[in-house]
Structure 1
Amino acid sequence: MASLKKIGTTALALASVLPATLAGGGSSAICTQIQQAISHASAVYYPSSKNYTADNAHWVASSTQASACSVEPATAADVSAIIKLLGKTKTPFAVKGGGHATNPGYSSTTGVEIAMTRFNTVTYDKKSGTIVLGAGKIWDDVYAELAPLGVFAPGGRVPGVGVAGFTLGGGYNWISNQVGLTVDIVLGYQLVKPNGDIVSVTKTSNPDLFFALKGGYNNFGIVTQFTYKAFPIGQVWGGLITYGAAQAAEFNAAFSNFAIHATDTKAAIVSGYGLDANGEAAVGNIMFYDGPSPPKGVFDAFLNIKNTSSDIGTRSLSSLVASAPQTLPAGTRGYFNTMSFFEYTPAIVNAILNETTFWGPRVAAVEAGALAGYHMEPFLNTLLTHNTTPTAWPFFRSKKFVPLQMQFTWSNPKHDATFRGFMEQSAVHLTNVANQDGQAIQQLPLYPNYGLYTSPPARIYGSNIPRLQAIQAQVDPQNVMGLAGGWKL
């Protein structure tokens, strides 16, 4: 990759469900009804207003749709009023947290866009050791607000990621080697059920919903706030370092060794490949250490490789996250696709680099400026052992598996299907490579926050589907949440 700044840091998602049309009553009717039903703390916005534009905007243009109106609820009671009206009129809708998801229809709609922007509180309770976050917060802002208190809730690793979607989808974070997935450290939810009831969901108050919300996405209502276990945080070490094509082989060796043999629970990396401006392979590597400096030997293999740029040092968590900017040119479209491996062996790592050099020129031949990136995330063998309470995702915890994120970006809408096909072909090829490497990965869970919309739900929820369907039938017998896009059961 040219650098993680161009393709490696961005978390590009994909396309989703087909746009739905508004049902009985028409767009103006339902929007007016909502406006009349909510309190003055909340508001409805229409096309041409700044709030409407912001409410519908997503990180990539391909996941932005023009809704009939947008609504910014400020209270759970107003969310209740809204969802009851939407269910009664069978109006398609979407719920948007941060807007970093890029599957069209997952947090966007041609119906009513519910933007959770006004749920923006960050509350730390020292006595209970918990942090409560509103569903409209962005992780960057959460880290900055909590920094003076020396605590944080582990969430997004790059800028612009929303609290809600990230948490409801599982949540790989910078200290996952120490505490597990973000879904593992959520202690409670405030949920507005599809019938409008406002409930507190904890392990003891409602074990079924507690299980379902831990990775179950938006199938059970609208979450307005999350309660997390708080963890201490001070100065951390790390940042982004990049390498040129001549160093790719040396980097591959260092990465594979780290992925297989690392033991320090405080150390983590996210590494990616892409093509630079000259069409040659390049590498971006974000390193993280939970402390002001890593012990000798932890990252030496990476630091000793000749780099093309380096932003490594002791800093705040906010600064480290900001070192991987997510800003894309206006009009950029994009998809994610994902795979899971048991391990990043040398054969897998070399194959991923080869995919970059194979697809990079091909996407550029279709459209000048289009990019193909591959991002690898290794974790320790203990990753999935930090939580013994069942979760909707992942459905498989008997052995560690690690995610790969593909990220393709382009500008012309007519190329959407072409690039989606490229990403699907790449996944098939890498699956064959994994099989040859002795890794039978076909049944491993796929990470929903990276998943391409064509991924089968069975690869997301697997053996948990029957239990999740039963919970959904109980909490949402009218299938109100089916009016919104997302990973459906």
Structure 2
Amino acid sequence: MAAGSWLSLLALAASSVVADSTCSAIRSLHPNLPLDLPSTLDYLEHQTEYWSTACGDLKPTCILQPKSTEEVVSIVKVLLQNNDTFAVKSGGHNPNNYFASVSGGPLISTKSLNDISIDNTTGTVRVGPGNRWDDISGALDGTGYTVVGGRIGNVGVGGYLLGGGLSFMSTEYGWAVNSILEYTLVLANATVITVSEQNHPDIFLALKGGGNIYGIVTSFLLQGYPQGDVWGGNLVFDANDDTTPKLLAALRDFTEYYPDEKAGIIMTAERTLGTLLDIWILFLYYNGPEPPAGVFDNFTAIAHTIDSTKTQSMNSLLSGNNWAVLKGSVYTIGTETTPVPSEEHGPEVLGALYDTWVNVSNTAALVPGVIASIAFQPMPKRIAQLSKQKGGDLLDLDDSVDRIIMELDYSFLFNSDYAKIDQTMQDTYNGLKDHVTGFQEQGKLASDVYLPLFMNDGFYRQDYFGRLRPEKKALASEVRDQLDPDGLWRDRTGGFKIL
């Protein structure tokens, strides 16, 4: 055998020893810490929890399930003794490979960090990152309390809160991070700090939308709010030349003239390209047994084929929205942001954004099983106002303009088509951004508008930190260097990085 081949085999063997070192060390040093190997049923079950099968196809050397902050500290101490790549997983809903999945290194599952405790005296709720939002809404059912959280029950708490968290309740209470009072954070040097606005103000601000670059959060203390039954569900529309312009106009008006702070929507277009099925699905929410007349009239007046709206508990609503989680396919996500156009220019601007999505998604029509989705998510000025009132966050939106966040999704059957969809996703969000810029240059959209990206919807190629205000990016970088000077989270796990 040639010398080069021997060297390659030796390098592969050496990397295998390193990759196994965390799992082996944990088994030796901490035999009571739950550890699942690839041969176990629990390991296989964990790998099926990802929304994207591409994440589940990445094979960690073992899955660690710490039950306490102290056990997370023990794991980090072992990681400091080797060069393993690793990942930390909450619910597994983020489809970006390596953000919460790993190949050839340990996966730290927070599934057993699932505390949910209510303090009736302070009106606060402490939750662990291993929960999903239907776990939390179920635990709060009947207590008279709610917390600002996800709109689909199956979404994991940890990733959602680290990315900012857009909620049905955001026009009442702000981003989900604006209602976080305290973090328990395991640092890269295997120490633990409790982070609040009072004791670590810079770290606290950086954590509110800074992702996973600062450490492992093992619990969140959330402000609770009073809540009883809610109203919500879905309306389904055919996406045709008559309905689509009406829906886009209703979206524009709803965002600018936001009729009621207790109301929330997501307006989503879905295309199953193989069968050319085009539909709109509107997610509706109202914090009360039923909405007052006029709140959703611009939408309900448009002819629709399905109406599942009803009065129900928050848990019922969130669990009912789990139909939108279509597991069993490879799945990607991306995002872009636009100012809300004026009523005069709304049809042209929103129509062009929708048409761009349609035209680019058509280029992937031959990919087996492909489904394309775009979600228009209102970001009225009120959310920015609430954020500032509550101390701000890393996104630091100003309240001078209304915005719409667009979430882009492609799901498809085979990982072998990932490269094609990767390019399609880039073409989609770049095409949307080009239109926004072009309309700004034409005076049809407000210019000189700050348009950050929403981390929870971001594609791994997008520069989340680069789209923040320069001073917020600088703060994020300074806190990262303070908490992780040797680059444990920067270099050895996935997620959005400061470039």
The residue that corresponds to 2:190 in the other structure is 196
The correspondence of residues 90-169 of structure 1 with structure 2, limited to 5 A, is 90-110=83-103, 111-169=105-163
The correspondence of residues 324-335 of structure 1 with structure 2, limited to 5 A, is 324=321, 325-330=323-328, 332-335=329-332
Paired with 2:217 and 2:116, the residues of 1 have a C-alpha distance of: 15
| 1:488 and 2:485 correspond | no
User: Cα deviations across residues 421-479 of structure 1 (Å, max 9, x unaligned)?
Assistant: 12222222222322313244885210111111111244354422222222222211221
Deviation at 1:341, TM superposition (A): 1.3
Which of these residues, 252, 255, 277, is aligned with residue 259 of structure 1?
255
- Going from structure 1 to structure 2, the CA distance change for 1:356 and 1:212 (only over 3 Å counts) comes to closer
Letter in 2 for 1:63: C
The residue that corresponds to 1:299 in the other structure is 296
Which of these residues, 268, 284, 288, is aligned with residue 285 of structure 2?
288
| 1:459 and 2:466 correspond | yes
TM-score by length of 1: 0.90
Paired with 2:294 and 2:87, the residues of 1 have a C-alpha distance of: 47
The residue that corresponds to 2:168 in the other structure is 174
User: Which one is further off, 382-391 or 133-142?
Assistant: 382-391
Letter in 2 for 1:474: Q
The residue that corresponds to 1:445 in the other structure is 452
- Going from structure 1 to structure 2, the CA distance change for 1:263 and 1:295 (only over 3 Å counts) comes to same
Letter in 1 for 2:496: W
What's the secondary structure of 1:148's corresponding residue? coil
What's the secondary structure of 1:99's corresponding residue? coil
Letter in 2 for 1:37: L
Q: Does structure 1 conserve the Cα–Cα contact (< 8 Å) formed by 2:269 and 2:281? A: yes
Deviation at 1:419, TM superposition (A): 1.3
The residue that corresponds to 2:477 in the other structure is 469
What's the secondary structure of 2:411's corresponding residue? strand
Q: Does structure 1 conserve the Cα–Cα contact (< 8 Å) formed by 2:465 and 2:497? A: no
- Going from structure 1 to structure 2, the CA distance change for 1:348 and 1:244 (only over 3 Å counts) comes to same
The residue that corresponds to 2:23 in the other structure is 31
The residue that corresponds to 2:435 in the other structure is 433
Deviation at 1:288, TM superposition (A): 0.8
User: Cα deviations across residues 288-318 of structure 1 (Å, max 9, x unaligned)?
Assistant: 1111111111111211222111101111112
Paired with 2:256 and 2:142, the residues of 1 have a C-alpha distance of: 36
The residue that corresponds to 1:49 in the other structure is 40
Task: Please say which structure displays the higher CA radius of gyration.
Answer: 2
| 1:404 and 2:406 correspond | yes
Deviation at 1:76, TM superposition (A): 0.8
Deviation at 1:21, TM superposition (A): 11
Which of these residues, 55, 62, 69, is aligned with residue 54 of structure 2?
62
Letter in 2 for 1:164: G
User: Which one is further off, 305-314 or 181-190?
Assistant: 305-314
% identical aligned pairs? 26
- Going from structure 1 to structure 2, the CA distance change for 1:21 and 1:74 (only over 3 Å counts) comes to farther
Superposed CA RMSD: 2.2
Paired with 1:89 and 1:441, the residues of 2 have a C-alpha distance of: 47
TM-score by length of 2: 0.88
The correspondence of residues 355-366 of structure 1 with structure 2, limited to 5 A, is 355-364=356-365, 366=366
Deviation at 1:256, TM superposition (A): 2.1
The residue that corresponds to 1:417 in the other structure is 419
Q: Does structure 2 conserve the Cα–Cα contact (< 8 Å) formed by 1:22 and 1:92? A: no
Unmatched tracts of structure 1, length 5 or more: 1-19
Q: Does structure 1 conserve the Cα–Cα contact (< 8 Å) formed by 2:337 and 2:453? A: yes
- Going from structure 1 to structure 2, the CA distance change for 1:354 and 1:250 (only over 3 Å counts) comes to same
Which of these residues, 210, 213, 227, is aligned with residue 204 of structure 2?
210
User: Which one is further off, 467-476 or 226-235?
Assistant: 467-476
- Going from structure 1 to structure 2, the CA distance change for 1:452 and 1:440 (only over 3 Å counts) comes to farther
Paired with 2:101 and 2:379, the residues of 1 have a C-alpha distance of: 32
Letter in 2 for 1:80: V
Letter in 2 for 1:338: T
User: Which one is further off, 286-295 or 433-442?
Assistant: 433-442
Deviation at 1:34, TM superposition (A): 1.3
Higher-RCO chain (CA-CA 8 Å, sequence separation at least 6)? 1
The residue that corresponds to 1:393 in the other structure is 394
The residue that corresponds to 2:4 in the other structure is none
What's the secondary structure of 1:320's corresponding residue? helix
Q: Does structure 2 conserve the Cα–Cα contact (< 8 Å) formed by 1:172 and 1:182? A: yes
Paired with 1:262 and 1:425, the residues of 2 have a C-alpha distance of: 31
- Going from structure 1 to structure 2, the CA distance change for 1:311 and 1:177 (only over 3 Å counts) comes to same
What's the secondary structure of 1:80's corresponding residue? helix
Deviation at 1:270, TM superposition (A): 0.1
Q: Does structure 1 conserve the Cα–Cα contact (< 8 Å) formed by 2:90 and 2:159? A: yes
The residue that corresponds to 2:180 in the other structure is 186
Letter in 2 for 1:454: R
Unmatched tracts of structure 2, length 5 or more: 1-11
User: Which one is further off, 191-200 or 436-445?
Assistant: 436-445
